């Protein structure tokens, strides 16, 4: 193998595929990045068997070939050469010579035949969605997945595709996030549960444009095709919770309040709640006022916010962290919180966009 490529292009490609390089693995080949030179391009591939990322760059290929380089070291090395034209030459001892300006380095490589085959999705169903819509959906829900190994399906994000929309759902047993986005086309109705780590990396690799991206689903795999970058994720196998049964359909109290003021009040109230390690904040809602209160051995805090209340007065308590985390993704002046009882989950939606996304949060039972 012999080729010449641009250092900036190589550094960018390595930084992208490094996200899929295995760490603390018993199989050293998973800690490597596969390089394949052919037909005017250099393709870099990394996988930990759950997530795979392939990135191709333009290269002047003098001699086709492939090898596997030590991933972390190669990444650190080429990152410091990103302004150079780089020549890569593989000798018959499977050593890669990296030449730049008047200098050079040599890496002992691994056997490419030991590198896992990346799943090819030949007869997959597919759908197309705008990149910025997909990225926004992932960012709004992925933080709500479970971290509990005892419920592996909840460590993934559910994607449901019908004729017109893509619905994403994540939940951890205490909260649920749901977001709906329009799609441009689909070959079939389908669903998949994508591991949270994989779908988060997909969001990082997608630019914030309205260009369409094609996504393919086949059996236990999902492929996101970004033309010069391909991301393949293994899917979680099993039945996802019927989330539609969890979301209440009727409410006794509906509160509309300023999102920025609510967030600021919660951030102050949670200071004491955090000191008590339970993040418990009580919501006392009556007479057009929402009173937020928290207490610990240090003291107590009370915040009052003017609201519009439609329905009954209610007193309820929550782990306030679930609210502060979701408020980072609310891009509107007002939010709507819907309550049923003091022991039933509430639903939070941005005012005016109730069909786009919602959050459900379970309350904490208060001592009598």
CA torsion angle 85 91 93 96 (round to 10): 10
| In contact, 155 and 146? CB cutoff 8 Å | yes
What local confidence, expressed as pLDDT, does residue 83 receive?
72
> CA–CA separation, 16 vs 4, rounded Å?
20
pLDDT for the residue numbered 356: 86
CA 71 – CA 279 distance, rounded (Å)? 41
pLDDT for residue 26: 84
Domains along the chain with CATH numbers: 2-114 (3.10.150.10), 125-245 (3.10.150.10), 253-361 (3.10.150.10)
Cβ atoms of residues 151 and 145 within 8 Å: no
**Contact between 47 and 116 (Cβ < 8 Å):** yes
Enumerate residues 6+ apart whose C-beta is below 8 A from 367.
none
Residues in the chain: 368
Q: How confident is the model at residue 277, as a pLDDT?
A: 60
Q: Supply the pLDDT for residue 60.
A: 96
Question: What dihedral do alpha carbons 36, 39, 42, 43 form, nearest 10°?
Answer: -60
DSSP H or E stretch at residue 231: strand 229-234
Give the residue ranges of DSSP H helices in the chain. Answer: 7-17, 71-79, 131-141, 196-205, 259-275, 321-327
pLDDT < 50: residue spans in the chain: none
- At 58-102, the pLDDT tens digits run 999 999 999 999 999 999 999 888 677 999 999 999 999 999 888
CA–CA separation, 35 and 66 (whole Å): 5
Torsion angle in degrees (nearest 10) through CA of 111, 115, 121, 126: -120
Query: Hey, is 14 helix, strand or coil?
Result: helix
Q: CA-to-CA distance for 243 and 360, rounded, in angstroms? A: 10
The pLDDT score that the predictor gives to residue 275 is: 59
Nearest to 342 by CA among 273, 252, 276: 252
Q: Residue 85: exposed, middle, or buried by beta-carbon count in 10 A (0-12, 13-18, 19+)? A: middle
- Angle among Cα 240, 245, 247 to the nearest 5 degrees reads 110
Question: Which strands form 65-70's sheet, in the order they lie side by side?
Answer: 65-70, 32-38, 41-47, 51-58, 229-234, 221-225, 212-218, 125-130, 185-186
Largest CA distance in the chain: 81
Q: What's the CA gap between 323 and 294, in Å, rounded?
A: 15
129 and 179 Cβ atoms separated by less than 8 Å: no
End-to-end distance of the chain based on CA atoms, in angstroms? 74
């Amino acid at each position: 193998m012999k080729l010449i490529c641009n250092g900036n292009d190589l550094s960018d490609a390595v930084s992208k595929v490094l996200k899929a390089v295995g760490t603390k693995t018993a199989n050293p080949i998973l800690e490597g990045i596969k390089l394949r030179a052919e037909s005017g391009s250099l393709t870099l591939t990394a996988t930990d068997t759950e997530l795979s990322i392939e990135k191709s760059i333009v290269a002047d290929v003098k001699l086709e070939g492939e090898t596997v380089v030590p991933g972390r070291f190669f990444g650190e090395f080429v990152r410091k050469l990103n302004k150079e034209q780089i020549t890569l030459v593989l000798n018959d001892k499977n050593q890669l010579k990296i030449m730049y300006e008047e200098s050079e380095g040599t890496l002992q490589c691994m056997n490419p035949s030991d590198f896992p085959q990346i799943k090819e999705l030949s007869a997959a169903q597919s759908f197309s969605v705008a990149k910025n819509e997909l990225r926004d959906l992932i960012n709004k829900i992925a933080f709500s997945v479970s971290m509990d190994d005892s419920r592996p399906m909840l460590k993934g994000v559910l994607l449901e595709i019908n004729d017109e929309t893509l619905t994403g759902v994540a939940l951890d047993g205490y909260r649920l996030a749901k977001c709906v986005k329009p799609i441009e086309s689909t070959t079939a109705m389908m669903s998949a549960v994508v591991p949270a780590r994989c779908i988060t990396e997909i969001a990082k690799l997608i630019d914030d444009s309205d260009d369409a991206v094609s996504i393919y689903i086949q059996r236990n795999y999902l492929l996101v095709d970004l033309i010069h970058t391909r991301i393949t994720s293994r899917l979680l196998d099993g039945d996802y919770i019927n989330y539609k049964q969890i979301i209440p359909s009727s409410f006794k109290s509906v509160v509309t309040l300023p999102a920025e003021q609510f967030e600021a009040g919660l951030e102050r109230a949670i200071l004491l709640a955090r000191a008590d390690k339970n993040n418990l904040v009580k919501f006392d809602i009556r007479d057009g006022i929402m009173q937020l209160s928290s207490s610990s051995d240090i003291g107590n805090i009370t915040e009052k916010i003017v609201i519009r209340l439609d329905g009954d007065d209610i007193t309820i308590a929550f782990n306030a962290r679930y609210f502060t985390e979701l408020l980072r993704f609310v891009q509107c002046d007002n939010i709507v919180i819907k309550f049923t009882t003091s022991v039933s989950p509430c639903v939070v939606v941005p005012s005016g966009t109730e069909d786009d996304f919602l959050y459900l949060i379970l309350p904490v039972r208060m001592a009598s």
